[in-house]
Structure 1
Amino acid sequence: MQFQKKLTSSILILLFILTSCGSNALYENHKELESGIWQKANLQSFEIEIDDSQNHSVFYHLRYTMDYDYCNSYVRYKVFSPTGKLLTQKMKLDTLFDCTTGKPLGEGFGTVYNREFQLEESFDFSEKGIYKIELEQMMRKDSLEGIQTVGIRITN
């Protein structure tokens, strides 16, 4: 069973990467969560080098399973400038499953699904340098089962 989960996870990551090829992504990174559980205290932090002074779209990605107990997710995100200044902090409510039928809304097969959500449509990265983006799960439970990976993607 463990081998099958790892094989399914590997196939989904490969499919996600292949479908992302040719996109206008400036940055993309996904972090696998230990045992498919996102602990509230486990902030997911991403450091992104921005080489220009332009606006870019920012997305976050979740890979989740049918073990996830809710239809939606609350995520707080923070963006820090290269000097460490907090530029923005917002809460996002997004839907992973149809709340009436329980049907997964993401792409996938079997029991594993992927979903990407927009955080910022045109974020002002006015300074060149390394920005930090933090994602924190804000659900009522400290341990969210069924979240396998969390990722960030930045596009032109």
Structure 2
Amino acid sequence: MSLFQKVAFLVFSLSVLLVLSSCGSDSLYENHKELENGFWEANNLQSFDVSIDDTQNHSIYYHLRYTLDYDYCNSYVRYKIFSPTGKLLTQKMKSDTLFDCKTGKPLGEGFGKVYNREFELEPNFNFSEKGIYKIELEQMMRQDSLEGIQTVGLRITN
């Protein structure tokens, strides 16, 4: 990563933190995992262990931080949600758009080469028991190595 990319990443990260902290966040959980060298490998499953202390419904979102090096306008992600006992509760494929397919313009928030988007996975997921849920995200783009995906994140809100 060049010095410019590091500085841009730092400024972008601080901006996101400032915006999130000033919004009175209703997040129960938020975690972001940086991908080595800006590539999301097909075999690099992103797994999040989420502690849920109630039995209410919550919304689940995932984040992608990506660069102009990403070669497609869309992304396909498969997600799985497992109960605290390990039972598979849901498995779905999600298609989302990162760039305008006609113009190539990035649709996320950001500047320079780095952009960030959040997508809804489950608007009202029923967490029926307390405990540690596992949520897995897997890229499904028919390419073993996706260039331009820097970070994959997960957020759960009230």
TM range (shorter): over 0.9
Query: Could you tell me how far apart the structure 1 residues matched to 2:125 and 2:59 are?
Result: 6
Query: Could you tell me how far apart the structure 2 residues matched to 1:43 and 1:10 are?
Result: 25
Equivalent residue runs for 1:14-93 within 5 Å = 14-21=14-21, 22-93=24-95
**Cα RMSD, aligned residues only:** 0.9
What are the Cα deviations for residues 45-65 of structure 1, in whole angstroms up to 9, with x where unaligned?
Answer: 001100000000000000000
2:111 to 78, 94, 109: 109
What are the Cα deviations for residues 75-128 of structure 1, in whole angstroms up to 9, with x where unaligned?
Answer: 000000001110000000000000000000000000100000000000000100
**CA shift at 1:72, angstroms?**
0.1
Query: Could you tell me how far apart the structure 2 residues matched to 1:47 and 1:81 are?
Result: 10
Aligned to 1:4: 4
Q: Using structure 2 for the length normalisation, give the TM-score.
A: 0.96
Query: Could you tell me how far apart the structure 1 residues matched to 2:137 and 2:9 are?
Result: 21
Query: Could you tell me how far apart the structure 2 residues matched to 1:11 and 1:49 are?
Result: 30
Query: Could you tell me how far apart the structure 1 residues matched to 2:128 and 2:20 are?
Result: 26
Query: Could you tell me how far apart the structure 2 residues matched to 1:28 and 1:17 are?
Result: 12
Query: Could you tell me how far apart the structure 2 residues matched to 1:145 and 1:60 are?
Result: 18
Query: Could you tell me how far apart the structure 1 residues matched to 2:89 and 2:17 are?
Result: 29
**CA shift at 1:9, angstroms?**
1.4
Query: Could you tell me how far apart the structure 1 residues matched to 2:33 and 2:94 are?
Result: 19
Q: Using structure 1 for the length normalisation, give the TM-score.
A: 0.98
- Percent sequence identity is 74
Query: Could you tell me how far apart the structure 2 residues matched to 1:86 and 1:14 are?
Result: 36
* SS across alignment from 1:141: coil
Query: Could you tell me how far apart the structure 2 residues matched to 1:126 and 1:18 are?
Result: 33
Aligned to 1:126: 128
Equivalent residue runs for 1:134-149 within 5 Å = 134-149=136-151
* SS across alignment from 2:50: strand
* SS across alignment from 2:100: coil
**CA shift at 1:17, angstroms?**
2.0
Unpaired segments of 5 or more residues in structure 1?
none
Query: Could you tell me how far apart the structure 1 residues matched to 2:51 and 2:60 are?
Result: 13
**CA shift at 1:24, angstroms?**
0.4
Question: Which stretch shows the higher mean deviation, 142-151 or 17-26?
Answer: 17-26
What letter is aligned with 1:86?
L
Displaced runs of 4 or more, over 4 A = none
